[in-house]
Amino acid sequence: MKPRVRFAPSPTGRLHIGNIRTAALNWLYARKHRGTFLLRLDDTDTARSTEEFARAIRDDLNWLGLTWDEEVRQQDRTARYESVANTLKAQGILYPAFETEEELDRRRKRQLAMHRPPIYDRAALKLSKAEIAEKMGSGRKPHWRFRLPNTEEGRGLAPQPTLVSWNDLIRGDQTVDLGSLSDPVLIREDGTFLYTLTSVIDDIDFGITHIVRGEDHVTNTGVQLALFEAAGATPPAFGHHSLLVDADGQALSKRLGALSVQSFRDGGLEPMAVLCHAALVGTSDAIEPLTSRDALAERLDFSKISTAPGRFDVAELKTLNGKLLHMLDYADVAERLRNLGVEGREDFWQAVRGNLEVLSDARLWWEVVGGNIEPVIEDSKLAVAAAETLPLEPWGESTWSEWTAAVKSRTGAKGRALFHPLRLALTGRESGPELKALLPLIGRDRVLARLEGKRA
């Protein structure tokens, strides 16, 4: 059976590198196995979800090339959630509880003071039908909890050790003790649904076969497996990847704007560089540039993903971006260069691509070879000798070596004393592409003018 996977962001903010790692792993898995990738917008939090963020999520995914086969919005499925919830209520799997947050907080503090785990005591299960009806009749609105299957008949309401296990696609054998958890709230007092319930219903309805997400969901998976069982459904396979840390080993804040996909786009990074870094960070594979998403998908192997935190370094991403640019042919970038105002031919691209960190850097070198720059004359005598020995055009591949040999013979300069003054005069810069490649692009008239210290 071909896999069906999903990426389920909440449209309450911009996508960041952590989100994209999850999206990439799911998309690449579906791509590798010719499966289906579903985009699910978890927008039941109507107070914080916005259309602007929903559009931004789609834009970011499209920019990365992570196109989806189907799209689902949870706010369109409220009737379905209510139907399932009513069934679970009738079965006693969801039960009403009326405690306020203040009451629950006092109980937690009391349990901690007695050196007991702060687990909900299931006091609401002791309410009679008449007491529940009285509270609702007086206007009290309950929240609804999922009764975890962690009690045994005849042993009361207290949770007992109940182990839920699965073979994780990434982490291997995993176990969660439901007896150590409070019965989770699945429906708020205002009737809105929480993620755990809606996610399970969606995964059942849309036939999701594999769920790959962050390790911060491991405990939640134990609860969801119990909910799948309560709904009489076969759960999907689960995989939990490690979370990312920054270059200093500190946890990444998911609201950190500097790590948003938008910031990468605005910074001129290539989508394939971002995608390669997101997919390969924290794996046993080297983080290297690939120009094809299919080639990246072939690399995907869950067994290669480390359980240790993946280290994300913006500097490493920028280096990777430069390496990717160095691999691209002129045909890959010609239209984008023209959009940047760079009309250079393939010889220009071949000359400068090895010195680019982002594509827009090409504008700088286009100005160097064809614009008016301020030359720097470091050695006036060498500049005069260089002008006097400059060959006539047309120039070929050997022109640079023949010219510098002539300048060396005339002045005795060699090494840095020869090449550094020429670079400063011809480009106005301390470093850059090889001058033998730039020289024919600059042209004889402009070279002579610059050697004379003129803007050209």
- Token pair of 389, please? 């020995």
**What's the mean pLDDT in 302-318?**
94
- Residues 6/39, Cβ–Cβ less than 8 Å: yes
pLDDT in tens, 430-456: 999 999 999 999 999 999 999 999 998
Do 104 and 158 share a domain, yes or no? yes
In the predicted structure, residue 157 carries a pLDDT above the cut 80: no
Closest CA to 204 of 173, 177, 225: 225
pLDDT given at position 156: 63
In the predicted structure, residue 158 carries a pLDDT above the cut 50: yes
Report yes or no on 252 lying in a domain: no
Report yes or no on 315 lying in a domain: yes
- Token pair of 452, please? 């004379």
- Token pair of 164, please? 């839920």
pLDDT averaged over every residue in the chain = 94
DSSP states of 30-75: HHHTT-EEEEEE----TTT--HHHHHHHHHHHHHHT---SEEEEGG
Do 44 and 170 share a domain, yes or no? yes
- Token pair of 425, please? 């005069």
- Residues 291/328, Cβ–Cβ less than 8 Å: yes
**What's the mean pLDDT in 277-291?**
96
Report yes or no on 70 lying in a domain: yes
Domain hosting residue 428, numbered range? 380-451
Do 69 and 204 share a domain, yes or no? yes
Residue with tokens 């590798």: 32
Do 128 and 96 share a domain, yes or no? yes
pLDDT given at position 45: 87
Read off the CATH number of the domain in which 145 is found: 3.90.800.10
SS3 196: helix
Report yes or no on 10 lying in a domain: yes
DSSP code for 161: -
Report yes or no on 384 lying in a domain: yes
Do 170 and 54 share a domain, yes or no? yes
Alpha-carbon gap, residue 391 to 170, rounded angstroms = 64
pLDDT given at position 255: 46
- Residues 39/72, Cβ–Cβ less than 8 Å: yes
**What's the mean pLDDT in 241-262?**
79
214 C-beta neighbours (distance < 10 Å), count: 15
Alpha-carbon gap, residue 302 to 304, rounded angstroms = 5
Do 229 and 261 share a domain, yes or no? no
Letter for the amino acid at 80?
R
- Residues 256/16, Cβ–Cβ less than 8 Å: yes
- Residues 239/215, Cβ–Cβ less than 8 Å: no
Report yes or no on 274 lying in a domain: yes
Do 229 and 88 share a domain, yes or no? no
In the predicted structure, residue 257 carries a pLDDT above the cut 80: no
Read off the CATH number of the domain in which 38 is found: 3.40.50.620
Alpha-carbon gap, residue 413 to 123, rounded angstroms = 91
Closest CA to 357 of 242, 227, 269, 426: 269
Burial class (CB in 10 A: 0-12, 13-18, 19+), 321: buried
pLDDT given at position 160: 83
Backbone angles phi, psi at 131, to 5 degrees: -65, -40
Read off the CATH number of the domain in which 439 is found: 1.10.10.350
Q: How far is it between the farthest Cα atoms of the chain? A: 108
pLDDT in tens, 368-419: 999 999 999 999 999 999 999 999 999 988 999 999 999 999 999 999 999 9
244-245 and 4-7 strand pairing = unpaired
pLDDT given at position 344: 79
Do 134 and 25 share a domain, yes or no? no
pLDDT in tens, 190-208: 999 999 999 999 999 999 9
In the predicted structure, residue 5 carries a pLDDT above the cut 90: yes
pLDDT given at position 240: 98
Do 38 and 111 share a domain, yes or no? no
**What's the mean pLDDT in 342-352?**
92
Report yes or no on 106 lying in a domain: yes
**What's the mean pLDDT in 117-146?**
93
pLDDT given at position 114: 87
pLDDT given at position 256: 56
Do 417 and 298 share a domain, yes or no? no
Q: How many structural domains does the chain have?
A: 5
- Token pair of 55, please? 């559009």
Do 283 and 312 share a domain, yes or no? yes
pLDDT given at position 123: 93
Report yes or no on 186 lying in a domain: no
Residue with tokens 């759960």: 235
Greatest mean pLDDT among 46-50, 204-208, 338-342:
204-208
Burial class (CB in 10 A: 0-12, 13-18, 19+), 369: buried
pLDDT in tens, 23-46: 999 999 999 999 999 999 999 888
Do 297 and 425 share a domain, yes or no? no
Residue with tokens 């706010």: 75
Going from the C-alpha of 29 to that of each of 21, 35, 104, 210, 299, the distances in angstroms are 12, 8, 42, 9, 10
Residue with tokens 């430069």: 322
Half-sphere exposure of residue 362, counting CA atoms within 13 Å on the CB side?
A: 30
In the predicted structure, residue 254 carries a pLDDT above the cut 60: no
Residue with tokens 């007992």: 160
**What's the mean pLDDT in 246-275?**
84
Alpha-carbon gap, residue 28 to 304, rounded angstroms = 14
